Structure 1
Amino acid sequence: MKQMEEANEILSTLNKEGFHAYIVGGAVRDFLLNRRSADIDIVTSAQPDEIRSLFPKTIQMNTEHQTVIVRLNSQLYEVTTFRGDSLQQDLFERDLTINSMAMDVEGNLIDPANGEKDLQGRYLRSVDPVKTMTDDPLRMLRVARFVSELGFAVDEDLMKVIYSNHSILHSVAVERVAKEWLKLFKGIHRQSAFKLLINSSMYESIPGLTLDKDVLNKLSRLDIDQDETDVVCWTVYCLVLNVDNANILKCLALSSQLIRDVNKRLVGYWLRTEQLWTNLSLYDTTIQVAKDIEYIRSLLGEAAYKGTELEQIWGLIPIHSRSELAITGRDLLNETNKQSGPWIKDELRAAEEAVVTNNCENEKECLLEWLERRRK
């Protein structure tokens, strides 16, 4: 794996300077599962200032852990000073045994918590479940996320801790919750994960999310793709909640752009429930948003256009954005000798509609004449 090879360059640099360094956590787990890892984390005996002195491109993270981002060959790697006095103490601080393994530069596995055995047994277990889960309550939601992604069973002692302590999830920052929720929602074993949320009553304690048994059961039946975009996932979430706008997502501290994008799809979805696509509705919605809407309709068991069918309609529309319109606001000012004002926007919109609905050719003189007739 190229990423692991590049990460080993960082290990080698640290080792040459006399520091211990290891790849840890999810990257080791995914390597043993032959899965591609989204991130590669490294731990080291070096302090942050020592790490920064060894690499030309670094960023000091402002977190509770002493983490430095190292940029190498366009990739970013989190390099963190050991939590505790040793690698073993650092590994025992981690959430699950399958994430408590390390690998040195030569590829040797360091596994004091028997994570490889649990990985082979498809088992989620913590070294000290009470301390692990209560130190960072988000880890309880992460357990459900790993059930969703991997389909592993959960250790009985760990489940008892989740049953007894899930209420402290209320204290977790909503931004962290949103990230874990999306990963859980996209997992191929999401039905098992949602069942865990229901059986443990954890869903009652997740901050920022509006969940009940009915919502979770509906979501669990949706065959959403693992690689689906965040905007589609949040749109589906809103639709299952039966809301007509994405304002409910503001409490999750999601970006304004994402909320606007979800709203576009919600508006288009509700419009689509009333009518089939026309040149004008497809033009206003845009092809990508329309494709997302049709995909969502198919997820929800509703009749849906195929992507090729939408492409055919889109291809017949004379223009695909206002920038392609043959006239501008300046043309209207020159033609009418009127003062600038909101009327320009109205006339350009009328011209767009005329072209898109094939009531006028997209030619300057034709459009100016059409608008003049419209005024009269």
Structure 2
Amino acid sequence: MSVVWNEARKVIHILKQNNHNAYIVGGAVRDWLLQREIADVDIVTTATAEEVQSLFSKTFRMNNQHQTVIVRSNLEHFEVTTIRGQSIEDDLHLRDLTINSIAIDDQNELFDPTGGEVDLRAGRLRASNPADRMGEDPLRMLRVYRFVSELGFDIDTSLKEAILHNREAIQKVAVERVVKEWVKLIKGKQCNLALTGMVETKLYSFIPGLSLTKDSLMQLKKLPPLHEESDLICWTLFCLCSNYVDDMPLKRLALSNELLRGIRARLHFFEKRKMQSWLPLALYEATLDVALDVERLRELCGLPSYSFEELSRLWDELPIHDKSELAITGRDLLQSVKRPGPWVKEELRLAEVAVVTKELTNEKTVLLQALERRRAER
């Protein structure tokens, strides 16, 4: 048992000591049965949110439609939600897929009213009353393909029919929720199976924010598995497969500014790299991290690429790696020309470029004299 699992049992024990039934549910039980690594553990209980908060000293009430409280136990965090319906069986019948509708108590007794364990063994994605389950939350249709991508399971015929019938409803889902599922989908080891399925049901054409096309999905299918890649690499590849020249189409997805800046830089230097190898100035402007990612993107796209060792050697050979290493500052320039203005920034940039391209050595006297000569010649 993992640390997080054992800590979850302690939370359940406290709830039971106070006359509340409690169970581990959903993905944690599914992954435990599949002998996969368990990340998050969710708990359901007969206790109300207020009762949960009264029993634990470190809690946070989530502002959602469910009665959910975040409980901190040691260093672990658990979503503890009040059971829907009159029993654990009622709650499990309302969950998205049967493989996520299994619960376990602190005595290791399984509660599986929808046959999820059988579906796990059969490698099948199925839902209890699929039309109702998909209609209640249309994001579940994308989640189905996310699980195809992660697990390689087949989709039950009745569930596929429910997706075909309800697919347009996914247009109403908030893009922030779509983004989380989409990243998990394209990182799955069986991503190609999921993309093929989405083309078959045409669900892709109704997903908000992503502007997916059959062509962009086919381009994604050509890529090797991305399960070990960063979100930054995955989103940049998404842009390349969608023929985006910059990050502007991603603005509607509410991605972080930091992530968008990273994508923008990689797209820019990926395009430059099409025209030429890494020259010193381009490498300097890119930074080593961006350049390494560009080469990884080229490798994933089946293009010739520099090795880590080759690119690191070129980086090490640069005279400077940041403008802070330049031997002169704006103050040095103002000592000789006591006239503030945009010319200072311009001359510092000229010096920076000259040093990086080895036109001038990074010495204060050399740089100041060269800039003085340039001013005299103007």
Using the size of structure 1 for normalisation, the TM-score is 0.96
1:224/1:299 contact within 8 Å kept? no
Q: What number of residue pairs does the alignment pair up?
A: 375
Matched, 1:95 2:91: no
Q: Which residue of 2 aligns with 1:306?
A: 307
1:28/1:101 contact within 8 Å kept? yes
Unmatched 5+ stretches in structure 1: none
Q: Which residue of 1 aligns with 2:140?
A: 139
2:190/2:225 contact within 8 Å kept? no
Q: Which residue of 2 aligns with 1:373?
A: 373
Q: Which residue of 2 aligns with 1:236?
A: 237
Q: Which residue of 2 aligns with 1:120?
A: 121
1:366, 1:327 → 2: CA distance? 10
Q: Which residue of 1 aligns with 2:182?
A: 181
Secondary structure of 1:79's aligned partner: strand
Deviating beyond 6 angstroms after TM superposition, the runs of 4 or more aligned structure 1 residues are none
Query: CA RMSD, aligned part only?
Result: 1.4
Q: Which residue of 2 aligns with 1:318?
A: 319
Q: Which residue of 2 aligns with 1:268?
A: 269
2:72, 2:373 → 1: CA distance? 62
Q: Which residue of 2 aligns with 1:252?
A: 253
Q: 1:352 to 1:95 in 2, by over 3 A?
A: same
Name the aligned partner's letter for residue 297 of structure 1: R
Q: Which residue of 1 aligns with 2:353?
A: 353
Q: Which residue of 2 aligns with 1:159?
A: 160
1:183-198 aligned within 5 A: 183-198=184-199
Matched, 1:215 2:209: no
2:226/2:234 contact within 8 Å kept? no
After the TM superposition, which of the residue ranges 172-181 and 246-255 deviates more from structure 2? 246-255
After the TM superposition, which of the residue ranges 29-38 and 132-141 deviates more from structure 2? 29-38
Name the aligned partner's letter for residue 287 of structure 1: L
Name the aligned partner's letter for residue 222 of structure 1: L
Q: Which residue of 2 aligns with 1:76?
A: 77
Q: 1:333 to 1:107 in 2, by over 3 A?
A: farther
2:236/2:266 contact within 8 Å kept? yes
Secondary structure of 2:275's aligned partner: coil
Q: 1:49 to 1:262 in 2, by over 3 A?
A: same
Unmatched 5+ stretches in structure 2: none
1:300, 1:213 → 2: CA distance? 18
2:191/2:225 contact within 8 Å kept? no
1:326, 1:77 → 2: CA distance? 53
2:163, 2:129 → 1: CA distance? 13
Name the aligned partner's letter for residue 375 of structure 1: R
After the TM superposition, which of the residue ranges 310-319 and 37-46 deviates more from structure 2? 37-46
1:327, 1:20 → 2: CA distance? 70
- Shift of residue 207 of structure 1? 0.8
1:30/1:37 contact within 8 Å kept? yes
Per-residue CA deviations over 1:27-63 (Å, capped at 9, x if unaligned) read: 1111111111332111111111222222222221111
1:29/1:99 contact within 8 Å kept? yes
